């Protein structure tokens, strides 16, 4: 593979990989006006809908309910297109005031539309069970039936219409505003490297260096870069913790994670079983980090050593090579999925380069059924970036196939949202492993895979533990100081790492750039859920071969039209089995065993 400098690679093809958001709006020449037009149309239709149905949902028959849901879907499509455009435009340049202003206008107008329609959910939830069951049995409701069923599960936590409208409208200047402030602060972080200032994502990529001096220096520079604005980010987090505590109290949720579990269609018991199973196997990451210390010739790792490459063969992957490898892998598994992946590239559904002001990390925005998904990357030419591309395109093909279910069912709960992404990443990892030219390169790949599982399963559960600690403290004791955030962060990390990794003082502020805590409280355990589920599904593919592919595609096409339990049954997975999580963790342990074997074969042990 061609070797490039990840901080300033000469890769002109990558520089051209930007998305075309014109698919979302009618007039790309004047996007702000086009977005306003979408929202204005949605507002008019929402007002007309309210005039027709407010106070009368209980009078609907089956065809009437289907008609009402169809109109709600049309309104949702318009609002989602406008919101997706504003969000994606803001994501690629969070420092641009015009993009920020457009996002704020969209949030305010979207809130007004939601306020006008809030009656429908309340009246639907208030129907007697017998009446609701009679309506749900009617023909023509397949596009919305599961959505309506799950909406009724929120009935114990809904307030009256006046209160719901107030909470919805106040969120614009409350929760939504604090989230935006945090995102702007995070995106503005610049790390002063020896060769000049760099985006946070670029600096963090240096923690993969095989040179410990580089890793230590980078960690110190990242910690220094997190200091400016740290108290502001901590204050925003405090306000969001308090806001959620208020919402949960008003809605009678028994604990901080209950609303997320309900949205995920997961029982408290099943989530607790997942978290306890993973925390009960914390010796696995400790075992890996002890092995890694031996491979690196260290007595004990520090936190900045965890992602270090275990070989000095720093493989860099040009964009074209990454694109072709991922495309070919998906196409070999399923020509249909390969065709979808090619569209992401050919039709400009991806934005890949690192740029100043661009949001960090990677994500896939589902878009709408009538448009298409979009993928954001910060591609730094590391081999792990190839797997990130495969991961996000897994989300992308899931979104594209799930779009067949329509606006209400195209997306799954978060607990299944990682299924296709982890599956696709695993496929590409297998391809990389097949072409590894030496035992040393095979070891390096297996090490990256083990670390990926540890980051996705064990670290995410440790992050969930941090969330649990800060939400609980905020509710029971009050506002957290920056120092107390750091103490709870260190405690949650040390519980996982044990004596295998030293948590340095500088690392105590690294909670302050994690966006999930801010934008989606309780999200992170879904990564562990999805990773273990996807590994189980991949295991079925390994045992069944090509015969498994149609059922896998059926799973993706189902989107969120069925419960997680029913979706699992499509591919022969029983999510209600108490031993499910331990069997998934056994797969991670076997991967660790294989890495130890590869280390011996490479003469490293």
Per residue, the 3-state secondary structure of 274-290, as one string, reads HHHHHHCCCHHHHHHHH
Q: Residue 376's closest CA among 362, 388, 386? A: 362
DSSP 458: I
pLDDT at 221 over 90: yes
Task: Using the structure block, give the residue that is written with the tokens 């897994």.
Answer: 394
Residue with the two structure tokens 């593979």: 1
pLDDT exceeding 90 applies to what percent of the chain?
Answer: 83
pLDDT at position 438: 85
Average pLDDT over residues 460-481: 97
From residue 224, how far is each of 71, 209, 213, 214, 335 by CA, in Å? 52, 19, 17, 15, 48
Best CA proximity match to 482, nearest among 181, 242, 233:
233
Spell out the CATH class of 183-313+441-519.
Answer: mainly alpha
Residues in the chain: 605
Q: Between the CA atoms of 496, 236, 203 and 523, what dihedral angle is there, to the nearest 10 degrees?
A: 50
pLDDT for position 583: 85
Residue of 578, 579, 577, 591 lying closest to 539 (CA atoms):
591
Give tens-digit pLDDT for 384-443.
899 999 999 999 999 999 999 999 999 999 889 989 999 999 999 999 988 888 888 889
Given a cut of 70, whether residue 3 has pLDDT beyond it is: no
Distance, CA of 488 to chain centre: 23
Is residue 187 predicted with pLDDT exceeding 50? yes
pTM of the model: 0.84
In whole angstroms, how far apart are CA 194 and each of 37, 203, 305? 48, 11, 19
Q: Which of 366, 364, 371 is nearest to 425 (CA)?
A: 364
Give the tens place of pLDDT for each residue, 60-97.
Answer: 999 999 999 999 999 999 999 999 999 999 999 999 99
CATH entry 3.40.190.120 includes domain 15-173: no
pLDDT given for residue 7 in this prediction? 40
* pLDDT at residue 384 in the model: 85
Name the DSSP letter for residue 382: B
What is the reported pLDDT for 314?
A: 64
Whether the Cβ atoms of residue 378 and residue 360 lie closer than 8 Å to each other: yes
Query: Phi and psi (nearest 5°) for 26?
Result: -80, -30
Angle formed by the axes of helices 319-333 and 419-434, nearest 10°: 110
Pick the closest to residue 144 from 479, 369, 444 (CA basis): 369
Quote the pLDDT of residue 6: 40
Segment 479-489 mean pLDDT? 97
Averaged over 108-128, what is the pLDDT? 95
Edge-to-edge strand list for the sheet holding 350-351 = 350-351, 374-376, 363-365
Fold of the domain spanning 319-432+529-578 = 1.10.1370
Give the separation between CA 564 and CA 210, rounded to whole angstroms.
41
d(Cα 492, Cα 460) in Å, to the nearest integer?
A: 11
Cα-Cα-Cα-Cα dihedral sign, residues 499, 501, 506, 511: negative
The two beta strands, 196-199 and 190-193, are antiparallel
Q: Which of 17-31, 33-47, 185-199, 493-507 has the lowest mean pLDDT?
A: 17-31
Q: Which of 322, 389, 314 is nearest to 351 (CA)?
A: 389
- CA separation for the pair 39, 420 (Å, rounded): 32
The per-residue pLDDT for 282 is 97
Q: CB neighbours of 551 closer than 8 A, spacing ≥ 6? A: 570, 571, 572
Contact assessment for residue 43 and residue 113, using Cβ atoms and an 8 Å cutoff: yes
For 27-36, 142-151, 176-185, which range has the lowest pLDDT when averaged over its residues?
27-36
Q: Is the pLDDT of residue 345 over 90?
A: yes
Condensed to tens digits (0 to 9), the pLDDT of residues 525-565 reads 998 998 899 888 998 999 999 999 999 999 999 999 999 99
Mean pLDDT of the chain: 93
Closest CA to 226 of 489, 494, 516, 514: 514
Q: What is the pLDDT of residues 249-292, one digit of tens each?
A: 999 999 999 999 999 999 999 899 999 999 999 999 999 999 99
3-state secondary structure of 315: coil
pLDDT of residue 137: 95
Q: Which of 441 and 300 is assigned the larger pLDDT? A: 300
Quick check: 46 pLDDT over 80? Answer: yes
DSSP 63-92: HHHHHHHHHHHHHHHHHHHHHHHHHHHHHT
* Angle formed at CA 273 by CA 413 and CA 583, multiple of 5 degrees: 90
Q: Which two tokens stand for residue 372?
A: 């298409």
Please report the pLDDT score of residue 577 as a whole number: 84
Proportion of the chain in helix, strand, coil states, percent, rounded to 5 = 70, 5, 30
Identify which of 236, 261, 268, 252 has the alpha carbon closest to the alpha carbon of residue 474: 236
- Note the pLDDT of residue 212: 95
Distance, in Å, from the CA atom of 85 to the CA atom of 404, rounded to the nearest integer, reads: 21
Q: Are 480 and 470 in contact (CB under 8 A)?
A: yes
Can you give the pLDDT at residue 579? 84
Tokens linked to 535: 């590994």
pLDDT of 1 > 70? The answer is: no
Dig out the tokens for 571 from the structure.
């591919």
Rounded Cα distance, 433 and 360, in Å = 28
The confidence score (pLDDT) of residue 4 equals 34
pLDDT at position 28 is 66
Considering the chain, tell me which residue range(s) the CATH 1.20.140.70 domain(s) occupy: 15-173
- Label residue 98 by pLDDT band (50, 70, 90): very high
Which segments of the chain belong to CATH 1.10.1370.20? 183-313+441-519
pLDDT > 70: percent of the chain: 98
Tell me where in the chain the CATH 1.10.1370.40 domain(s) lie: 319-432+529-578
* Ramachandran category for residue 376: left, alpha or beta (phi over 0 → left; psi -120 to 50 → alpha): beta
């Amino acid at each position: 593979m061609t070797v490039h400098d990840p901080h300033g690679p000469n890769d002109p093809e990558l520089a051209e990989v930007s998305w075309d958001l014109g698919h979302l709006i009618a007039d790309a020449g004047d996007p702000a006006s086009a977005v306003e037009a979408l929202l204005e149309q949605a507002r008019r239709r929402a007002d007309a809908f309210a005039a027709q149905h407010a106070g009368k949902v209980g009078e609907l028959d089956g065809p009437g309910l289907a008609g009402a849901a169809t109109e709600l879907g049309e309104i949702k499509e318009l609002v989602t297109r406008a919101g997706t455009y504003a969000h994606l435009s803001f994501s690629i340049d969070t420092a641009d005031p015009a993009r920020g202003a457009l996002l704020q206008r969209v949030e305010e107008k979207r809130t007004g539309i939601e306020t006008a329609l809030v009656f429908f959910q309340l009246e639907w939830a208030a129907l007697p069970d017998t009446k609701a069951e009679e309506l749900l049995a009617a023909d023509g409701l397949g596009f919305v039936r599961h959505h309506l069923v799950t909406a009724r599960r929120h009935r114990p936590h809904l307030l009256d219409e006046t209160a719901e409208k107030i909470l919805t409208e106040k969120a614009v200047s409350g929760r939504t505003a604090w989230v935006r402030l945090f995102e702007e602060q995070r995106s503005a972080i610049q790390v002063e490297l020896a060769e000049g200032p760099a985006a946070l994502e670029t600096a963090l990529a240096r923690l993969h260096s095989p040179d410990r001096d580089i890793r230590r220096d980078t960690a110190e520079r990242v910690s220094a870069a997190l200091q400016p604005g740290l108290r502001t980010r901590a204050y925003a987090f405090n306000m969001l913790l308090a806001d959620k505590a208020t919402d949960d109290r008003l809605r009678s949720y028994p604990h901080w994670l209950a609303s997320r579990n309900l949205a995920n269609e997961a029982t408290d018991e099943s989530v607790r079983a997942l978290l306890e199973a993973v925390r009960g196997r914390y010796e696995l990451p400790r075992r890996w980090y002890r092995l890694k210390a031996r491979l690196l010739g260290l007595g004990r790792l520090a936190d900045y050593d965890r992602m270090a490459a275990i070989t000095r063969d720093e493989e860099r992957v040009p964009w074209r090579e990454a694109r072709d490898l991922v495309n070919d892998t998906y196409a070999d598994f399923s020509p249909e999925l390969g065709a979808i992946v090619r569209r992401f590239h050919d039709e400009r559904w991806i934005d890949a380069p690192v740029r100043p002001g661009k949001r960090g990390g990677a994500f896939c925005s589902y878009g709408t059924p009538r448009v298409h998904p979009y993928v954001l990357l910060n591609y730094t030419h590391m081999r792990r970036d190839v797997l990130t591309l495969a991961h996000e395109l897994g989300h992308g093909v899931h979104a594209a196939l799930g779009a067949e279910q329509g606006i209400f069912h195209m997306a799954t709960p978060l607990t299944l949202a990682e299924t296709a992404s982890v599956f696709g990443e695993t496929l590409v990892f297998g391809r990389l492993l097949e072409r590894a030219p030496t035992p040393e390169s095979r070891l390096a790949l297996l090490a990256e895979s083990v670390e990926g599982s540890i980051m996705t399963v064990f670290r995410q559960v440790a992050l969930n533990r941090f969330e649990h600690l800060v939400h609980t403290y905020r509710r029971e004791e009050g506002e957290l100081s920056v120092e107390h955030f750091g103490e709870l962060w260190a405690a949650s990390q040390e519980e996982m790492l044990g004596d295998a990794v030293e948590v340095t003082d500088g690392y105590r502020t690294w909670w302050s750039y994690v966006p999930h805590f801010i934008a989606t409280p309780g999200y992170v355990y879904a990564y562990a859920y999805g990773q273990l589920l996807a590994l189980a599904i991949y295991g079925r593919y390994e045992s069944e071969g090509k015969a498994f592919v149609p059922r896998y595609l059926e799973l993706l096409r189902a989107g969120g039209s069925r419960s997680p339990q029913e979706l699992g049954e499509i591919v022969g997975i029983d999510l209600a089995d108490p031993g499910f999580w331990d069997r998934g963790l056994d797969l991670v342990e076997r991967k660790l065993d294989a890495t130890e074997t590869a280390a011996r074969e490479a003469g490293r042990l």
